[in-house]
């Protein structure tokens, strides 16, 4: 019996170690954000939480338009998530439950788009935006991302199994048109996958750095990640202030995420295994 | 009337039961369907296909984005092949990939195996391990930048405490690569562990039962039974981490800046592309680099695919 | 709730939302006639005066934007994006690199700039004018160079300490190296210079010829460059360098504040960075004209982009902000060294400087500024200069053979030029 207990203890030890590594950077961030710059530069470094958190936050809010960029990121992430959920689920519904001419080749094209890496198109994408007059505006961030193959593919797999043909048939007999079929039959059933896509899109858009860095040239419309990077490069001297900004930028997303984490992770794993 | 025979006259879309053949219908009935899937194709045509085609066009020109475009034939590609910095960036990216992906997948597998044996609080662990994956890349780079700093970082304090002595992480080429690799490992281990866990849980119990009856030890079971069954999943994680590893940008740029730092040790391929296209205002060359990057990505993914699939003849 | 109503209401909502989305980003991107957007970087303009600008110009409605991180790429990318382009923008000393795109900017001569031309240093003024005579940039500040040295360490080495005497000794490069040897002999723990690139860039900073001639021909293999190179290599040979990799970095600050580096041959704004980085050495420094007696590094300009709807008003603003009296005041506020002639003679400039032990450092820098001959900077300088500085780093830190390094620098520079499609 004791061998098993030792084994179990060892198990937990390793897992807890991994846990500590995963979480420690956040603790460290909090330590740095709540101390003075001098404390951070001290060697050996101070390991405990300080009392300067509010001071550093106030300085940071003076240095950059934090709330402005926060709201910008929020706007972009929410709008994109809503659009993605709508367009992806709609397309997935069609591919899952309907037949129509050209369906197969169209679907193959959909799969093929997975092959295209984003970095290849960064430069010409910028030029396209320039011609459309969208450089520096939120449209440049939202429109290219508002419908994607990954989401359609995932939702289609889900829809195939989840939406019952009988239900569709019954609704159609009642006189439902296409859109009503989607709205009243498909959507309630697709809700779990839609919420997964929504959260996933939100996180992706929130954390996006390269593209907003390139295309949001308007200083009034920076997203949070770009503003944070600016804060970091501008203010190497007031380091604790940079840390306060980093804290405010990273933590809210995590806290919000925790509410839906369990289901999200389950869906993510399931999707990967099927794929 | 249980199977659907949709009257042609209602103008409503066609539902089909499995096994039934479609009958040619009027186009109008299909209209809502095409409209519903059109957004993807429209968006992809404008922001997916067209930019790629345009990128190829741009790669044959020299252009700073503002003035006129100048046709230069294969000039950009010839320069690319002889460009030391381009090849250097490929090397840097590959080096970082090796020192990050191999430990990361290794740790992920260990964690997944541990979680698979009925430990308590599995959900809690899964969530906690996943948190790094949703953290802002910029934030991570800033935090780790201070951990690996030359004169005041936490890592040096630790090294000093165990008697190894200080390392000037951010002035040393390998120090920089290790710092970037650490960020990648920290960020993706949990994600891959969760995927491996799902894969492990999909393996039916009787397979293990059979192995036990045959007298296999735990280690033998792992390598002869578990791993082969996990091969598709392992392949999946290798491919996704290959694609991800080739695209490292934010961690490097925030840590060492646009130049790639001392010895250009942090100059990943995408950072080099960004530097040439947007910092040096050379859109033509940036496009050529993009294509070079694409070729390398395909090559490397193919190699990895081959390695993981092995000669199993699948 | 019939299906018609649900569908209609949803579609209406979607249409409205999409329209809203389309509009939310419209209106922006175009420059307006009711405000003036300005781009600048931190401490390139005085924030206080910017605030006052609106009081002076009732219609200006200035909207200043501080841009951090890669100013030039940001500006060029914005010009390529043709959207949200600022009306007025600061441009750094690399202004020549914008000349190929000069059609993006308004010719300030068209707005009457030549009326105030005499107020400013001629060589600074000319730097803002293209080869074709179009005035792109209006002068803000300059970066005259001088030789700063630790007086106490000079004393220890038996060298003269009074700036006038030191100036005589270091007037030539030979004299400079003699002084350096004597300094090192008696101050073994202190290095004479932070790095050898500093010597290279200073020698270049006072040369009227740079890497290209006015016809666009590459002259980076000629004697003026080679001499500068040789002098830097000389410093390495005589072991004078502290081998600091990056100027003004934390390592650099540490070197000066810890007393490990004895001189700084650099621009006036570097003196202020020194002051901030090494307060513990205050009062121990003196300054005089260095070898060559002059040199300029840095200094920015103001420009008006073609997207500006009210260029005349914008120019009035620029003229007002850069008038001699305000330039003098800006020197006191944020230490931007003026380019206006009368400012250079102003009391504020020649006031005693505590950091330099009461010496009037401003006077020395002003003399350096006045002595400068105009240099020709090609738009393509940046393409080749890194080749040379990289190789010098290799010579200094990796012990590379200087002759091989010179050959490599040349071939790398020529490669870059060919890539850009220019004649070599």
Contact C151, C284 (CB under 8 A): yes
φ, ψ for residue A177, nearest 5 deg: -85, 180
Q: C208: burial class by Cβ within 10 Å (0-12, 13-18, 19+)?
A: exposed
- pLDDT tops 80 at residue B87: yes
Name residues whose C-beta falls within 8 Å of residue A78's C-beta, 6 or more positions apart in sequence: A202
Check A215 against C81: CB less than 8 A apart. yes
In terms of phi and psi (left: phi > 0; alpha: psi -120 to 50; beta: otherwise), the region of B189 is: alpha
φ, ψ for residue C135, nearest 5 deg: -90, 110
Contact A100, B33 (CB under 8 A): yes
φ, ψ for residue C89, nearest 5 deg: -145, 145
Between chain A and chain B, how many beta carbons pairs sit less than 8 Å apart?
A: 271
What is the rounded distance in angstroms from the CA atom of residue C390 to the CA atom of residue A159?
A: 58
pLDDT in tens, B289-313: 989 988 888 888 888 888 877 644 4
Tokens matching residue B81:
């092949």
Q: Which value does ipTM take for this structure?
A: 0.82
Distances in Å between the Cα of B11 and the Cα atoms of A37, A192, B26, C195 are: 71, 32, 8, 81
- pLDDT tops 70 at residue B272: yes
3-state SS class at C88: strand
Tokens matching residue B258:
């646009």
Check A135 against C83: CB less than 8 A apart. yes
pLDDT in tens, A193-223: 888 889 889 999 999 998 998 888 888 888 9
φ, ψ for residue A262, nearest 5 deg: -55, -50
What is the rounded distance in angstroms from the CA atom of residue B279 to the CA atom of residue B265?
A: 18
What is the rounded distance in angstroms from the CA atom of residue B98 to the CA atom of residue B180?
A: 12
Check C83 against A183: CB less than 8 A apart. no
Q: How far apart are the first and last CA of chain B?
A: 45
Closest by Cα among C235, C172, C170, C149 to C200: C235
Give the per-residue pLDDT at B3: 39
> Which residues does residue C359 pair with via DSSP β-bridges, in sequence order?
C353
Closest by Cα among C59, C56, C133 to C99: C133
What is the rounded distance in angstroms from the CA atom of residue C304 to the CA atom of residue C310?
A: 10
Q: Which of C245, C419, C421 sits opposite B262 (nearest CB)?
A: C245
Contact residues on chain C for B145, CB-CB shorter than 8 A: none
3-state SS class at C145: strand
Contact residues on chain B for A267, CB-CB shorter than 8 A: none
What is the rounded distance in angstroms from the CA atom of residue C162 to the CA atom of residue B311?
A: 81
- pLDDT tops 90 at residue B68: no
What is the rounded distance in angstroms from the CA atom of residue C94 to the CA atom of residue C127?
A: 10
3-state SS class at C186: helix
% of chain A with per-residue pLDDT over 90: 12
Contact residues on chain B for A15, CB-CB shorter than 8 A: 111, 114-115, 119, 125
Tokens matching residue B284:
């033509």
Average pLDDT over chain A, rounded to whole?
Answer: 84
pTM of structure: 0.79
φ, ψ for residue C208, nearest 5 deg: -70, -20
Q: C90 touching A, CB under 8 A?
A: no
Name residues whose C-beta falls within 8 Å of residue C6's C-beta, 6 or more positions apart in sequence: A180, A183
Check B139 against A229: CB less than 8 A apart. no
Q: Which of A136, A177, A229 sits opposite C3 (nearest CB)?
A: A177
Distances in Å between the Cα of A123 and the Cα atoms of A268, B72, B125 are: 31, 18, 41
The whole-angstrom distance between C419's CA and the closest CA on chain B is 7
Q: B98 touching A, CB under 8 A?
A: no
**DSSP single-letter state for residue A175:** T
Mean of the pLDDT values across residues B276-282? 83
Contact residues on chain B for C79, CB-CB shorter than 8 A: 65-66
Tokens matching residue B299:
């090559």
Contact A64, A245 (CB under 8 A): yes
Q: B164 touching A, CB under 8 A?
A: no
Closest by Cα among B302, B243, B238 to B93: B243
Contact C91, C137 (CB under 8 A): yes
- pLDDT tops 80 at residue A41: no
The whole-angstrom distance between B182's CA and the closest CA on chain C is 24
Q: A38 touching B, CB under 8 A?
A: no
Contact residues on chain A for C68, CB-CB shorter than 8 A: 230, 233-234
Q: Alpha helix locations (H) across chain A?
A: 2-33, 37-41, 53-63, 66-97, 103-112, 122-132, 139-142, 149-162, 165-173, 178-180, 187-207, 210-215, 224-234, 239-274
b/e C100-134 (16+ beta carbons within 10 angstroms → b): ebbebbbbbeebebeebeebbbebbbebbbbeeeb
Distances in Å between the Cα of C343 and the Cα atoms of A55, B275, C30, C323, C350 are: 40, 40, 38, 9, 10
Check B136 against A249: CB less than 8 A apart. yes
Range ranked top by mean pLDDT from A195-204, B7-16, B148-157: A195-204
Contact residues on chain B for A269, CB-CB shorter than 8 A: 194-195, 197-198
DSSP A201-250: HHHHHHH--HHHHHH---GGG--HHHHHHHHHHH-SSSHHHHHHHHHHHH
- pLDDT tops 50 at residue B133: yes
Name residues whose C-beta falls within 8 Å of residue A71's C-beta, 6 or more positions apart in sequence: none
3-state secondary structure string across C373-419: CCCCCCCCHHHHHHHHHHHHHHHHHHCCCHHHHHHHHHHHHHHHHHH
Distances in Å between the Cα of C58 and the Cα atoms of A203, B118, C36, C208, C318 are: 45, 74, 12, 43, 15
Closest by Cα among C180, C181, C184, C223 to C204: C223
φ, ψ for residue C261, nearest 5 deg: -130, 135
Contact A57, A243 (CB under 8 A): no
Closest by Cα among A105, C364, C254 to B171: C254
Binned at pLDDT 50, 70 and 90, residue B24 comes out as very low
Mean of the pLDDT values across residues B48-54? 87
Check A228 against B136: CB less than 8 A apart. yes
Q: Alpha helix locations (H) across B153-226?
A: 154-161, 173-201, 205-213, 218-221
Check C73 against B279: CB less than 8 A apart. yes
Per-residue pLDDT of chain C (424 residues; tens, 9 = 90+): 344 444 445 555 555 555 555 444 443 467 888 889 999 987 788 888 998 998 999 888 998 888 876 788 888 888 888 888 999 999 998 899 899 889 999 999 999 999 999 999 999 999 999 988 999 999 999 999 999 999 999 999 999 999 999 999 999 999 999 999 999 999 988 999 999 989 999 999 888 899 998 888 899 999 999 999 999 999 999 999 988 777 776 667 777 877 889 999 999 888 888 887 787 888 999 999 999 888 899 899 999 999 999 999 999 999 999 999 999 998 888 888 999 998 888 888 888 888 898 898 889 999 999 888 888 898 888 888 888 988 888 788 777 899 999 999 999 899 888 887 765 5
Binned at pLDDT 50, 70 and 90, residue A274 comes out as low
Q: Which of C70, C100, C415 sits opposite B258 (nearest CB)?
A: C70
> Which residues does residue C142 pair with via DSSP β-bridges, in sequence order?
C337
> Which residues does residue C340 pair with via DSSP β-bridges, in sequence order?
C120
- Using a CB–CB cut-off of 8 Å, the residues of A that contact C are 79, 86, 126-127, 129-130, 133-139, 142, 175-177, 179-180, 183, 214-215, 217-221, 229-230, 233-234
Name residues whose C-beta falls within 8 Å of residue B175's C-beta, 6 or more positions apart in sequence: B148, B167, B168, B169, B265
Check B293 against A122: CB less than 8 A apart. no
Tokens matching residue B278:
């947007």
What is the rounded distance in angstroms from the CA atom of residue C335 to the CA atom of residue C318?
A: 19
Contact residues on chain B for A112, CB-CB shorter than 8 A: none
Q: From the candidates B64, B69, B80, B281, which should be mutated to test the interface with C, based on the most C CB atoms within 10 A? A: B281
Give the per-residue pLDDT at C251: 67
Tokens matching residue A181:
């079929």
pLDDT in tens, B172-206: 788 889 999 999 999 999 889 988 988 888 888 88
The radius of gyration of chain B from alpha carbons, rounded to an integer in Å, stands at 26
Angle between helices A2-33 and B122-134 (to 10 degrees): 30
The whole-angstrom distance between B150's CA and the closest CA on chain C is 10
Contact C90, C39 (CB under 8 A): yes
Contact B290, A119 (CB under 8 A): yes
Residues 49-68 of A with CB under 8 A from B: none
Give the per-residue pLDDT at B125: 86
B84 against B13, higher pLDDT: B84
Check A15 against B114: CB less than 8 A apart. yes
3-state SS class at C301: strand
Q: C187: burial class by Cβ within 10 Å (0-12, 13-18, 19+)?
A: middle
Average pLDDT over chain B, rounded to whole?
Answer: 82
Q: A103: burial class by Cβ within 10 Å (0-12, 13-18, 19+)?
A: middle
């Amino acid at each position: 019996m004791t061998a098993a207990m030792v084994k179990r203890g060892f198990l937990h030890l390793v897992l807890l170690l991994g846990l500590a590594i995963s979480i420690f950077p956040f603790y460290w961030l909090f330590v740095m954000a709540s101390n003075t710059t001098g404390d951070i530069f001290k060697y050996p470094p101070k390991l405990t939480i300080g009392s300067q958190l509010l001071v550093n936050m106030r300085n940071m809010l003076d240095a950059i338009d934090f709330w402005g960029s926060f709201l910008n990121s929020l706007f972009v992430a929410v709008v994109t998530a809503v659009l993605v959920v709508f367009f992806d689920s709609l397309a997935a519904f069609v591919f899952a439950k309907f037949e129509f001419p050209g369906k197969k080749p169209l679907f193959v094209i959909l799969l093929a788009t997975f092959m295209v890496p984003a970095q290849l198109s960064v430069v010409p994408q910028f030029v396209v935006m320039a011609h459309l007059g969208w450089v520096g505006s939120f449209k440049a961030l939202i429109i290219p991302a508002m419908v994607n193959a990954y989401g359609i593919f995932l939702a289609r797999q889900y829809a195939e199994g989840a939406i019952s043909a009988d239900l569709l048939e019954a609704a159609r007999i009642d006189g439902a048109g296409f859109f009503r079929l989607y709205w009243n039959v498909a959507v309630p059933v697709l809700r779990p996958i839609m919420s997964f896509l929504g959260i996933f899109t939100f996180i992706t858009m929130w954390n996006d750095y390269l593209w907003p860095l390139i295309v949001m040239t308007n200083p009034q419309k920076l997203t949070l990640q770009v503003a944070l990077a600016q804060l970091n490069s501008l203010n190497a001297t007031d380091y604790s202030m940079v840390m306060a900004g980093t804290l405010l930028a990273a933590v809210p997303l995590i806290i919000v995420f925790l509410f839906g984490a369990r289901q999200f992770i389950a869906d993510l794993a399931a999707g990967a295994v099927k794929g | 009337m249980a199977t659907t025979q949709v009257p042609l006259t209602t103008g409503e879309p066609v539902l089909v039961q499995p096994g039934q053949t479609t009958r040619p219908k009027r186009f109008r009935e299909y209209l809502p369907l095409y409209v519903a899937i059109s957004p993807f194709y429209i968006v992809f045509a404008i922001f997916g296909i067209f930019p790629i085609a345009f990128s190829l066009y741009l790669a044959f020109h020299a252009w700073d984005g503002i003035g006129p475009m100048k046709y230069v034939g294969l000039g950009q590609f010839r320069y690319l092949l002889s460009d030391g910095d381009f090849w250097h960036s490929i090397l840097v990216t590959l080096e970082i990939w090796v020192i990050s992906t191999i430990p990361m997948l290794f740790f992920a597998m260990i964690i997944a195996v541990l979680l698979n044996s009925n430990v308590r609080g599995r959900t809690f662990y899964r969530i906690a391990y996943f948190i790094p994956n949703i953290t802002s890349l910029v934030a991570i780079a800033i935090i780790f930048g201070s951990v690996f700093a030359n004169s005041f970082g936490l890592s040096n304090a630790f090294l000093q405490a165990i008697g190894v002595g200080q390392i000037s992480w951010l002035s040393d080429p390998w120090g920089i690569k290790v710092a970037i690799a650490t960020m990648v490992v920290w960020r993706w281990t949990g994600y891959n562990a969760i995927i491996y866990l799902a894969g492990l849980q999909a393996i039916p119990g009787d397979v293990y039962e059979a192995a036990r009856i045959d007298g296999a030890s735990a280690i033998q079971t792992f390598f002869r039974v578990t791993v082969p069954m996990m091969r598709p999943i392992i392949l999946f994680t290798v491919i996704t981490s290959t694609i991800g590893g080739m695209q490292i940008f934010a961690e490097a740029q925030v840590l060492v800046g646009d130049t790639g730092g001392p010895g250009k040790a942090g100059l990943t391929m995408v950072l080099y592309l960004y530097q040439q296209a947007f910092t040096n205002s050379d859109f033509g060359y940036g496009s050529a680099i993009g294509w070079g990057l694409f070729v390398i990505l395909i090559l490397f993914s193919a190699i990895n695919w081959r390695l993981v699939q092995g000669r199993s003849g699948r | 709730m019939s299906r018609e109503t649900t569908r209609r209401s949803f579609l209406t909502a979607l249409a409205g939302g999409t329209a809203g989305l389309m509009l939310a980003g419209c209106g922006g991107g175009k420059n307006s006639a009711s405000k003036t957007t300005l781009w600048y970087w931190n401490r390139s303009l005085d924030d206080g005066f910017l605030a006052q600008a609106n009081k002076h110009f009732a219609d200006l409605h200035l909207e200043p934007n501080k841009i951090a991180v890669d100013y030039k790429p940001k500006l060029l990318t914005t010009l390529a994006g043709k959207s949200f382009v600022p009306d007025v923008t600061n441009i750094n000393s690399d202004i020549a690199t914008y000349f190929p795109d000069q059609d993006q900017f308004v010719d300030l001569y068209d707005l009457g700039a030549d009326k105030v031309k005499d107020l400013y240093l001629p060589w600074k003024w000319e730097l803002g004018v293209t080869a074709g005579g179009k005035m792109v940039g209006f002068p803000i500040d300059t970066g005259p160079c001088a030789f700063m040295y630790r007086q106490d360490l000079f004393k220890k080495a038996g060298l003269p300490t009074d700036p006038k005497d030191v100036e005589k000794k270091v007037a030539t490069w030979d004299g400079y190296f003699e002084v350096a040897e004597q300094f090192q002999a008696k101050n073994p723990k202190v290095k004479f210079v932070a790095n050898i690139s500093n010597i290279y860039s200073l020698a270049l900073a006072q040369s009227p010829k740079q890497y290209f001639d006015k016809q666009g021909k590459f002259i980076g293999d000629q004697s003026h460059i080679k001499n500068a190179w040789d002098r830097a290599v000389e410093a390495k040979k005589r072991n004078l360098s502290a081998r600091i990799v990056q100027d003004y970095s934390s390592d650099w600050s540490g070197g000066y504040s810890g007393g490990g580096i004895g001189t700084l041959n650099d621009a006036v704004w570097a003196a202020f960075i020194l002051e901030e980085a090494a307060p513990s050495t205050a009062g121990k420094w003196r300054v005089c004209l260095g070898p060559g007696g002059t040199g300029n590094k840095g200094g920015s300009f103001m420009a008006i982009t073609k997207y500006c709807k009210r260029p005349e008003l914008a120019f009035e603003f620029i003229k007002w902000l850069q008038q001699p009296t305000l330039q003098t005041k800006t020197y006191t506020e944020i230490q931007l060294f003026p380019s206006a002639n009368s400012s250079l003679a102003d009391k504020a400039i020649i006031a005693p400087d505590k950091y330099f032990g009461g010496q009037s450092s401003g006077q020395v820098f002003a003399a350096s500024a006045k002595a400068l001959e105009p240099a020709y900077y090609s738009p393509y300088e940046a393409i080749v200069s890194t080749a040379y500085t990289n190789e010098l780093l290799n010579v200094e830190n990796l012990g590379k053979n200087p002759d091989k390094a010179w050959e490599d620098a040349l071939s790398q520079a020529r490669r870059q030029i060919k890539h850009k499609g220019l004649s070599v």
